Structure 1
Amino acid sequence: MNDGKEWQLALPEFLLEAEMLLAKSEECLSHLHLIRNDNDAIDCMKSSLAKLSQKADAMALRPICEFSRHIQDLISNAACPLQLHDQALSALQECLTLLAWQLELIDSKTGQLGLDDSEQVALIATVSQQIPQNGARYKAQQRLPHTP
């Protein structure tokens, strides 16, 4: 989708929706700083990140789509989702900050997001260390595409 007039017309709406979804995720995260065991805040954050991933996928913004999905997956697969500690919440905040920054870097004419995935990979690794996962060890680094 990210070519020509169609892309340029769809981008402002996408950015507005993406910013609202990120703001909602940040609001949920702030709430979790106050009330650690709030399942509604966790569900809200998962839902917002899943919607952001879907919207980014529809816009062919693969780095944003996959990064949001990985964050959501880590929260969904948490062994103890209602016991997020300060370091886990801080790592999640760093992820949301990176997502916001990446939205700013989308080229409005081409739809390209020129970046490597090293910061995403590092943050996913940090979050997976801070939020123990159910079952086999979650290997998000292997699921993120590596850019040459």
Structure 2
Amino acid sequence: MMNSANEWQTTFPEFLIEAEKLLAKSEECLSHLHLIRDDSDAIECMKNSLAKLAETADSLALQAISEFSRHIEYLIANAASPLQLHDQALDALHACLSLLAWQLELIDTRTGELGMDDTEQTTLIATVSLQIPQKSFSYKPQQRLHHAS
């Protein structure tokens, strides 16, 4: 859904302030994780901030920002060992947060459009996926309701 010009003009400044606060909170949590690797509160805080950013971006139809935020949050939430993030994983997450901040600056304040491709997002998500091993899920077909006895 596209934003009307009037709606966009009035809601964008509020969104931008909120988004910048959420990104700053995420970066603060990330900095904390550089110091204390097993801080579950910092990990939860970063996941919650990214989820809230995605939700806020959705409300303004900023799909690129909402999807990227959700993807990062998912990779953190689905980490096989979330309390054992190493420097490369934290650096990859920092690069994602930096790209989100940069994208926020590139949103056209008149139209709400973000005129860029998703190549860098895709590359960063792949890097984070490599640096943060994910829980493995084995596919199991749905079990039948009637079990053989």
Q: TM-score, normalised by structure 2?
A: 0.90
Residue 79 of structure 2 corresponds to which residue in structure 1?
A: 78
Shift of 1:4: 1.2
Q: Distance between the aligned counterparts of 2:89 and 2:99, measured in 1?
A: 16
Q: 2:101 corresponds to which residue? A: 100
> In the alignment, which residue of structure 1 is the partner of 2:117?
116
Q: Indicate the residue corresponding to 1:89 in structure 2.
A: 90
What stretches of structure 2 of length at least 5 have no aligned partner?
A: 139-149
Q: Deviations over 1:87-124 (max 9, x none)?
A: 00000000000000000000011100001000000000
Query: Which residue pairs with 2:59 in the alignment?
Result: 58
- Is the contact between residue 3 and residue 111 of structure 1 (CA under 8 Å) also seen in structure 2? no
Give the Cα–Cα distance (whole angstroms) in 2 for the partners of residues 135 and 8 of structure 1.
44
RMSD, matched Cα: 1.0
Partner of 1:4: 5
Alpha-carbon distance in 2 for matches of 1:3, 1:114: 18
Amino acid at match of 1:36: R
8 A Cα contact 1:71 1:124, kept in partner = yes
1:29 maps to 30
Query: What is the distance in 1 between the residues matched to 2:29 and 2:109?
Result: 29
Identity value in percent: 71
Give the count of matched residue pairs. 137
Task: Report Cα offsets for 1:17-55 as digits up to 9, x if no partner.
Answer: 000000000000000000000000000000000000000
Q: Greater Rg, structure 1 or structure 2?
A: 2
Which consecutive aligned stretches of 4+ in structure 1 deviate over 4 angstroms post-superposition? Answer: none
Q: Take 2:9 and 2:85, find their aligned partners in 1: how far apart are those partners? A: 39
Does structure 2 conserve the Cα–Cα contact (< 8 Å) formed by 1:2 and 1:60? yes
Task: State yes or no: 1:14 paired with 2:3.
Answer: no
